[in-house]
Amino acid sequence: MEETRGKAPWLRRPPMKGEGIASSSRRDSSGGTLMSAEERLRMMRVIQAREMGGSYHEDPYAPHAGAPDQATRKDNNKSSAFTVLLIAVTTVKLLLFTSYRSTDFEVHRNWLAITHSLPMRQWYVDATSEWTLDYPPLFAWLEFCLSHIARFFDARMLKVQNLNYSSPQTILFQRLTVVLADSVYIYAVSEGCRLLTSRLTSRSRNILYSPATVYSLLMLWNVGLLIVDHIHFQYNGFLLGLLQLAVFRVVERRFLAAAFYVSVALNMKHIFLYMAPAFGVYLLRQCCFPNSPHLDIREFNVKNFAALGSIFALVTAIAFGPFAVFGQLPQVFRRLFPFQRGLTHAYWAPNVWALYNGADTALTVLNKRFHFLVQSVQHVADSASSPDNSTLDAVPLVGTEQLKIQSLTGGVVGAGEPNILPAVSPSVTMCLTILGMFPALWSLWRAKVGTPNLASGDVFVRGLVGVTLSSFLFGWHVHEKAILLAIVPLTWLAISSANDARLFLLLSTAGLTGLHPLLFTPSEIPLKYMMIFLYIYAAFKVLKDRFSVVRLPGRRYCLPLLNRIETLYVLGFLPVEFYNAVVHESILGLCTKLPFLPLMVTSMYCAIGVVYVYVLIVIDLFRLSR
Amino acid sequence: MLLSKFRCLHEIGSVALFGVLIRWIISTNPYSGKGKPPMFGDFEAQRHWMEITYNLPVSEWYHNSTANDLSYWGLDYPPLTAYHSWICGFIANRINSSWIALSESRGIETESHKVFMRATAIIADLLVYILPICALGYQRRTHHGGFPYIIRICAEICVLLLAPPQILIDHGHFQYNCVSLGLTAWAILFVNDEKDVTAAVLFSLALNYKHMSLYLALPFFFYLLGRCHQAGRKAGSTKLVKIGAAVIGTFILCWWPYLWNFDDATQVVRRLFPFSRGIFEDKVANVWCALNIIVKLHRFNTGVLAAVSTLATLFGNVFSSLDLFRNPNDHKFRYALVNSALAFFLFSFQVHEKGILLPVLPATLLLTDDPIAATWFIIAATFSMFPLLLKDGLALPTYAMVTLFLTLSCTLLEWKLPRYGERVSKHGPQNEEEEQHQYDFACALMTISVMGFVILSLGCQFAPVYQRLPDLWTLLLSVYSCGHFVLFFIYFHVKQFEAQPILHKQRRKTMKAE
């Protein structure tokens, strides 16, 4: 079933692709073991035409699909691409065991210890380590289960007092749990492949660019997850697997299963609140008003509502129940929502507030030079030892005011407040987030009801991405890792429409590059750049081939699927990151003067891309819901 | 073959970058001798050479002195290694001079220094090893204006680049084998291109980087000799003189600082060939170590052993070398390289586990033509070094790399049995069925054999140690590997005798027609 929307005029699928391949492979199998000279010539022409920027009507790799060799043919079944990608990425994960791990490693070890050796009443109270338990209880239950296996590896990791304990067995165990927990994610990806093959069967017989292969490549090798889970250390793959399963159940219109997966995910990590409104609105609309194209309160389906509500309530009760019995709910929620942590995370996530803080910093610098503001902030600049020095962090650290400036550009966790622009309160971010979600929620509410049509799933996924991006852009104390919550569902859309593929390419370029400051140790710096570059390269490559982009003369100097400005933006990452990685420290020697400038530049540059994608998605939502 | 001739550069480049990425990931693992004073390991040896070469004048590099204690990782590689160490030392000095401070820097173990050393190995690998492998993979598919089958080329290059032994030793254990192997690969590339003089120069450089490249010297010699013989009396002798002059010139250039003093030169040679170390080290998977179980070899005189092992090595080389001389072609040449290196590994004096890297290089290049045997051999070679890798804490990366390599090899390459000579002409359903049977049989055998390796390697790690036989599992593993190598030695000989030229097939035919 072909997507009809989202087709820009410059994109065109080659007609009759499947047929061409089928016939050529037939010819191959009957013709003998070697490719004929004519065929070779024809392929040369096709490739040449393609390189000249012209169009072609056959898949250049078609003969490969019907490879003459028996052994190859035996291997080239549908599942093998998935299996190969899976095995390869798993071995890479194993190889990463000894690489850098962040404090999150100790965080999770501490949680293992807390859940194993303390009574349940103490779980959300204990503060032996500074890394207190701040995930919802279902995750604590998971850690509790894991800790019973951990005993067999090294029992000493389960002592709460053993802070920063990292014996080789501990590392092995914890890393292995992440790899094994990823099986949920892998199951979700295989479910996605199943859906894609059932949906887009007649498209292409070529294994290499079949939707399922492209999807499994983009998902299994998601570099963001490799960086965050397998180097930095967290369990996002597992949780995003739950999210994926929920999305697929919605696409299949199995809403109760979807509700179950969402509830589990929410009770595992409350970051899924970012997208919960999308699920809430869509499920309510689809389940509770199943028969009314126009909203009619008399047709409210109480039975479905009760079913949805009871699933959510049951999961939540299992998770939070014991703590409610202990009367610890306020304490648990204090741990879960630490509002004292400040507007932006240590490293600014690439969102609106990064731009806001960036603008504030720029104003501060300008103010120091031109003194256009005579306000309380003026003394910040005046107390500097060299007032005519225009660079911000040239100020030596003498007073608290300087610390304040430093903390804005710095990696200090805390409530860094802007100097010149007004401070932002949690309620403001809340209002902005809801406002930003509105278009997406509106489109979800307006979505057609009750059509058992897989394309309607895409409406939901697009709305979901809109909602998540809005939370990411406007939320309070957002982590840069949260961008994965938007990238993962967007991958699903990218497979079926070229316009969404373009959004995916932009968002993954901006979002994944925005993740790289997580890794800063010398041996991981080249690693992260290579990984991110290769992933983005591969994404461009496979999506370009998947949509068989034909370049128009006006788009000669553009990356596939992008227009000129977007191309410039994506290519702009190369000089920006080159400056950050090499020029700033080694050539200009500014790492002591302006230690945090590279982080600031990265997060602001990425923020521009994320905001742009958000705007495009909102426009799409309006366009499509009309 | 110039880089500009490549098409689809960025696809191949991205595959090469993937190879670099895997190497870099491996390099986050521990290296040999980490945290094991007073001698540490090969990592410290390489660092120490940078220290020595950077701080001392050239003439003192190989001599024992107060500043240069030869018993502490004294330089025992040929001069090109020393020059390379000097360059690395020069860069190290620019970055952080404490890394190579004379005698004060011994056993330095800082994170930034580790990254520096790892980076030097990976840069050397990229420039000297990865490039020719990419070029060879490209050349294999595009000879005589063949169609650049880009996906196939990329797939093959990807598998060639991920052969585990060299990656694990260079970037895990830590050495610069990539340089000598890479120079050899460059030489093979030029041999395929029929640029024999350049090839001879490059192989001489490889010899001057690591004298273990001698394992591969006989096939080069007989191939070039055979080519000269083939070219006819006059053209052949001119060519022979040219090649000889090029080789001698290269050697003179490399040994320049040591040629002016007889003592210096003999001292270097003495350092390179230490006969005092015994016939084999540790538990190496060769014939002598296996024989040692039955006959205790250390009771014999070292001189006798040396003579016997040299004779055995030469005997092992005779057939493949003569065959290559009579009929030099690119395909036989690759097989002959494997055979000769295996003969040296199995029979020669003072063999190290890492010597298996030398047959592995030509076997890697055979992956495209004889995928099953080459893959199997490479995996056996990886496991034969397992005790060494285990000591360095590289057990898990070894398993991971083998899995990765095996998976990619059996899906990205066309796994089939090689068919050469008369068997090619036979066609028909019955023959096809028979081939399918053979294929299944080969795969089954390989599965069983790899399982055996896995079990033995697990035994090395986890099995309880018996008081009377502390090295039982290691010894079993090395004997098991040795058995494999002997069988492969025979198999590759058979294949060499059957091999037909690949790259220059058409040209040969037209020549015959004329």
Please give, rounded to a whole number of angstroms, the shortest distance from the CA of A51 to a CA of chain B: 10
Of A58-72, A238-252, A564-578, the poorest mean pLDDT is in A58-72
Instruction: Answer whether residue A498 shows pLDDT above 80.
Output: yes
Is A40 touching B (CB cutoff 8 A)?
yes
Among candidates B28, B115, B404 on the partner chain, residue whose Cβ is nearest the Cβ of A88: B404
Mean pLDDT of the region A396-402 = 38
Looking at the DSSP bridge assignments, the partners of residue B351 are B280
Mean pLDDT of the region A239-258 = 92
Inter-chain touch B407–A87, beta carbons under 8 Å: yes
Model confidence at B152, in pLDDT bands (50, 70, 90)? Answer: confident
Model confidence at A337, in pLDDT bands (50, 70, 90)? Answer: confident
Mutation to test the A interface, candidates B147, B413, B427, most A Cβ within 10 Å: B147
Percent of chain B with pLDDT over 90: 56
Inter-chain touch B432–A70, beta carbons under 8 Å: yes
Instruction: Answer whether residue A459 shows pLDDT above 60.
Output: yes
Of A98-107, B164-173, B266-275, the poorest mean pLDDT is in B266-275
Q: Is B492 left (phi over 0), alpha (psi -120 to 50) or beta?
A: alpha
Inter-chain touch B111–A523, beta carbons under 8 Å: yes
Inter-chain touch B416–A67, beta carbons under 8 Å: no
Q: What pLDDT is attached to residue A392? A: 41
The token duo for A155 is 């029992």
Inter-chain touch B17–A534, beta carbons under 8 Å: yes
Q: Higher model confidence: residue B161 or residue B422?
A: B161
Is A533 touching B (CB cutoff 8 A)?
yes
Please give, rounded to a whole number of angstroms, the shortest distance from the CA of B424 to a CA of chain A: 11
Mean pLDDT of the region A256-271 = 94
Contacts with A96 from chain B: Cβ below 8 Å: 25, 28
Model confidence at A598, in pLDDT bands (50, 70, 90)? Answer: confident
Contacts with B415 from chain A: Cβ below 8 Å: 71-72, 75
Mean pLDDT of the region B83-94 = 94
Q: What pLDDT is attached to residue B514? A: 36
Q: What pLDDT is attached to residue A451? A: 59
State the Cα–Cα distance between residues B359 and B380, nearest whole angstrom: 12
Phi, psi dihedrals of residue B40, rounded to the nearest 5°: 55, -140
The amino acid sitting at B494 is: V
Q: What pLDDT is attached to residue B504? A: 63
A window 178-237, beta carbon within 8 A of B? 208
State the Cα–Cα distance between residues B390 and A36, nearest whole angstrom: 50
Q: What pLDDT is attached to residue B420? A: 52
Tell me what the pLDDT averaged over chain A comes to. Answer: 78
Instruction: Answer whether residue B291 shows pLDDT above 90.
Output: no
Please give, rounded to a whole number of angstroms, the shortest distance from the CA of B189 to a CA of chain A: 25
Is A337 touching B (CB cutoff 8 A)?
no
Please give, rounded to a whole number of angstroms, the shortest distance from the CA of A557 to a CA of chain B: 16
N residues, chain B: 514
pLDDT in tens, B13-51: 999 999 999 999 999 999 988 888 888 889 999 999 999
Instruction: Answer whether residue B512 shows pLDDT above 80.
Output: no
Contacts with B14 from chain A: Cβ below 8 Å: 534, 537-538, 541
Mutation to test the A interface, candidates B407, B408, B440, most A Cβ within 10 Å: B407
Q: What pLDDT is attached to residue A402? A: 44
Q: What pLDDT is attached to residue A545? A: 81
Inter-chain touch B22–A95, beta carbons under 8 Å: yes
Is A87 touching B (CB cutoff 8 A)?
yes
Q: Count how many pairs of residues, chain A against chain B, have C-beta atoms within 8 Å.
A: 98
Q: Is the dihedral of CA A550, A552, A557, A563 positive or negative?
A: negative
Please give, rounded to a whole number of angstroms, the shortest distance from the CA of A229 to a CA of chain B: 15
Inter-chain touch A80–B411, beta carbons under 8 Å: yes
> Which residue is associated with the tokens 């076997």?
B363
Inter-chain touch A70–B403, beta carbons under 8 Å: no
Instruction: Answer whether residue A520 shows pLDDT above 50.
Output: yes
Task: Write the DSSP string, A477-515.
Answer: SB-GGGHHHHHHHHHHHHHH-HHHHHHHHHHHHHHHHHH
State the Cα–Cα distance between residues B460 and B231, nearest whole angstrom: 53
Is A94 touching B (CB cutoff 8 A)?
yes
> Which residue is associated with the tokens 């709910």?
A329
Q: Are A78 and A207 in contact (CB under 8 A)?
A: yes
> Which residue is associated with the tokens 């949906």?
A199
Mean pLDDT of the region B297-313 = 86
Give the residue on B whose Cα is nearest the Cα of A529: B21
State the Cα–Cα distance between residues A461 and A620, nearest whole angstrom: 12
Give the residue on A whose Cα is nearest the Cα of B414: A72
pLDDT in tens, A366-392: 888 887 765 544 444 444 433 443 344
* For chain A, domain boundaries: 17-75, 352-409
Among candidates A43, A87, A208 on the partner chain, residue whose Cβ is nearest the Cβ of B147: A43
Instruction: Answer whether residue B172 shows pLDDT above 90.
Output: yes
Instruction: Answer whether residue B225 shows pLDDT above 90.
Output: yes
pLDDT in tens, A12-41: 333 333 333 333 333 333 333 334 444 544
* For chain B, domain boundaries: 3-34+109-503
Phi, psi dihedrals of residue A478, rounded to the nearest 5°: -90, 140
Q: Is the dihedral of CA A249, A250, A255, A258 positive or negative?
A: positive
Q: What pLDDT is attached to residue B50? A: 93
State the Cα–Cα distance between residues A458 and A196, nearest whole angstrom: 12
Contacts with A94 from chain B: Cβ below 8 Å: 396-397, 399-400
State the Cα–Cα distance between residues A373 and A214, nearest whole angstrom: 55
Mean pLDDT of the region A443-466 = 78
Please give, rounded to a whole number of angstroms, the shortest distance from the CA of A23 to a CA of chain B: 20
How many C-beta atoms lie closer than 10 Å to residue A101's C-beta? Answer: 20
Q: Is A166 left (phi over 0), alpha (psi -120 to 50) or beta?
A: beta
Among candidates B118, B407, B414 on the partner chain, residue whose Cβ is nearest the Cβ of A523: B118
Inter-chain touch A100–B28, beta carbons under 8 Å: yes
Name the H helices within A497-563: 498-515, 524-547
Model confidence at A401, in pLDDT bands (50, 70, 90)? Answer: very low
Task: Write the DSSP string, A306-350.
Answer: HHHHHHHHHHHHHHHHHHHHTT-HHHHHHHH--GGG-SB-SSPPS
Instruction: Answer whether residue B90 shows pLDDT above 70.
Output: yes
Is A520 touching B (CB cutoff 8 A)?
no
Inter-chain touch A61–B151, beta carbons under 8 Å: yes
Picking from A488, A507, A532, the residue whose alpha carbon sits closest to that of residue A188 is A488
Burial B283-314 (b: 16+ CB within 10 A, else e): bbbbbbbbebeeeebeeeeeeebeebbeebbe
Inter-chain touch B21–A531, beta carbons under 8 Å: yes
Helix, strand or coil, per DSSP, at residue A261:
helix
Inter-chain touch A521–B111, beta carbons under 8 Å: yes
Give the residue on B whose Cα is nearest the Cα of A32: B427
Percent of chain B with pLDDT over 70: 91
State the Cα–Cα distance between residues B190 and A105, nearest whole angstrom: 50
Inter-chain touch A71–B415, beta carbons under 8 Å: yes
A window 135-174, beta carbon within 8 A of B? none
Query: Which residue numbers of B have CB closer than 8 Å to A's CBs?
Result: 11, 14, 17-18, 20-22, 24-30, 111-112, 114-115, 118-119, 146-149, 151-152, 396-397, 399-401, 403-404, 407-408, 410-412, 414-416, 432, 436, 439
Give the residue on B whose Cα is nearest the Cα of A75: B411
Please give, rounded to a whole number of angstroms, the shortest distance from the CA of A244 to a CA of chain B: 27
Please give, rounded to a whole number of angstroms, the shortest distance from the CA of A481 to a CA of chain B: 22
Among candidates B17, B407, B414 on the partner chain, residue whose Cβ is nearest the Cβ of A530: B17
Contacts with A87 from chain B: Cβ below 8 Å: 403-404, 407
Picking from A570, A553, A538, the residue whose alpha carbon sits closest to that of residue A53 is A553
Mean pLDDT of the region B244-273 = 89
Give the residue on B whose Cα is nearest the Cα of A540: B11
Is A92 touching B (CB cutoff 8 A)?
yes
Q: What pLDDT is attached to residue A5? A: 38
Mean pLDDT of the region B67-78 = 87
Q: What pLDDT is attached to residue A552? A: 60
Contacts with A538 from chain B: Cβ below 8 Å: 14
Q: What pLDDT is attached to residue A30? A: 34
pLDDT in tens, B470-502: 888 999 999 999 999 999 999 999 999 988 877
Instruction: Answer whether residue A410 shows pLDDT above 90.
Output: no
Q: What pLDDT is attached to residue A371? A: 75
